[in-house]
């Protein structure tokens, strides 16, 4: 199957991956709401984050066993482990980015705001793009959460997904989200010839580290090619900016973004993909993410590489 640059969500493209319409799968997803907005400061950034988190929890599969094991990739042991424990997890392991003075492995007890009881969590500090996850994590978990991680990876994002799927038992689920939160900043920057990665979201936040926007089809494609059955693809946008309703604006945007690899990307939406592991995954390097060039500088097709 030939992969396309900057693919957008659509029934035909999802069907090409063997995925049914999302409206047909909603009945197998959770209807429980984990509202965490009271946990965060009342700023736009944190409100958006809390809304995305609430949405993600409401779209976990009902087929999870009553007491399940969960791996959280990209979590430093804060709100997500607490919430997934309240959701029914009996064991939570987190993988966070390494840094100075951070132990490679750490065990800690985490508490929800206003609660006295604590939940034990094991944290590994590893680079999911270059380091190999510990052998003891393989084929072990019923659920892997990789929430809002893809957009922060710049060297080998599919390797993170490949390693995450290897940690699932057969029949286990992976839940992947990417918020495309910088979409409007990328848009403005591209229209004015500015590097969006240097823009600040809010004065109290560090410089943005979102390296790429992903369409729903692209996230689903990564899972399908790593031996998973995609059971739901959804998007969520809390408020639609006026500019997104203008066909002229969208046409201009596609033209300006024609060489970015995301010309028809989902417009600022929170992308959520849930997939079930069918067997051992094979490494996958899609040509829409890793374009190669020949001697003449033209794009050469890579296909799937080991």
pLDDT along the chain (306 residues), means of 10: 31 56 40 61 68 83 88 81 82 91 88 72 92 95 94 90 98 91 54 50 46 83 96 73 63 66 55 94 90 44 32
Residue 73 is predicted with a pLDDT of: 95
Q: Given the structure tokens 């692209």, which residue do they identify?
A: 218
Nearest-Å Rg of the Cα atoms of the chain is: 19
Q: What is the pLDDT of residues 104-129, one digit of tens each?
A: 999 988 776 666 777 888 999 999 99
Question: 34-58 burial by CB neighbour count: b if 16+ within 10 A, else e?
Answer: bebeebbeeeeeeebbbbbbbbbbb
Residue ranges in 106-172 assigned as alpha helix (H) = 157-166
Provide the angle, in degrees to the nearest 10, between the axes of the packed helices 44-58 and 79-87: 30
Q: How far is CA 268 from CA 63, 96, 293, in A?
A: 30, 26, 30
Q: Are 211 and 153 in contact (CB under 8 A)?
A: yes
Residue 193 is predicted with a pLDDT of: 59
Burial class (CB in 10 A: 0-12, 13-18, 19+), 249: middle
Domains, the chain, with CATH or none: 11-277 (3.40.50.150)
Residue 19 is predicted with a pLDDT of: 57
pTM, two decimals, is 0.76
- Cα gap 233→23, rounded to integer Å: 9
Residue 183 is predicted with a pLDDT of: 54
Q: What is the pLDDT of residues 201-222, one digit of tens each?
A: 433 334 446 777 787 888 999 9
Q: What is the pLDDT of residues 221-231, one digit of tens each?
A: 999 999 999 99
């Amino acid at each position: 199957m030939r992969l396309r640059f900057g693919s957008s969500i659509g029934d035909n493209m999802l069907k090409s991956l063997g995925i049914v319409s999302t409206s047909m799968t909603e009945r197998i997803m959770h209807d429980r709401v984990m509202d965490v907005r009271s946990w965060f400061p009342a700023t736009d950034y944190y409100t958006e984050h809390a809304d995305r988190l609430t949405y993600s929890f409401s779209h976990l599969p009902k087929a999870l066993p009553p007491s399940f094991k969960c791996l959280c990739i990209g979590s430093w042991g804060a709100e997500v482990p607490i919430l997934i424990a309240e959701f029914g997890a009996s064991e939570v392991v987190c993988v966070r980015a390494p840094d100075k003075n951070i132990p490679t492995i750490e065990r800690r007890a985490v508490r929800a705001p206003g609660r006295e009881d604590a939940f034990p969590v094991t944290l590994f500090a590893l680079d999911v793009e270059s380091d190999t996850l510990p052998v003891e994590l393989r084929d072990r978990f019923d659920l892997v959460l990789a929430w809002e991680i893809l957009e922060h990876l710049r060297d080998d994002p599919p390797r993170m997904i490949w390693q995450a799927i290897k940690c699932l038992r057969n029949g286990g689920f992976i839940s992947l989200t990417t918020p495309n939160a910088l979409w409007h900043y990328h848009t403005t920057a591209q229209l004015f010839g500015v590097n969006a990665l240097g823009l600040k979201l809010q004065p109290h936040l560090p410089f943005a580290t979102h390296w790429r926007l992903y369409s729903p089809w692209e996230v689903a494609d990564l899972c399908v090619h790593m031996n998973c059955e995609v059971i739901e693809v959804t998007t969520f946008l809390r408020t639609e900016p006026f500019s997104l309703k203008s066909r002229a604006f969208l046409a201009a945007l596609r033209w300006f973004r024609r060489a970015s690899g995301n010309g028809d990307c989902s417009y600022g939406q929170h992308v959520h993909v849930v997939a079930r592991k069918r067997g051992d995954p094979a490494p996958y390097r899609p040509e829409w993410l890793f374009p190669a060039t020949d001697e003449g500088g033209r794009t050469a097709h890579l296909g799937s590489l080991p």
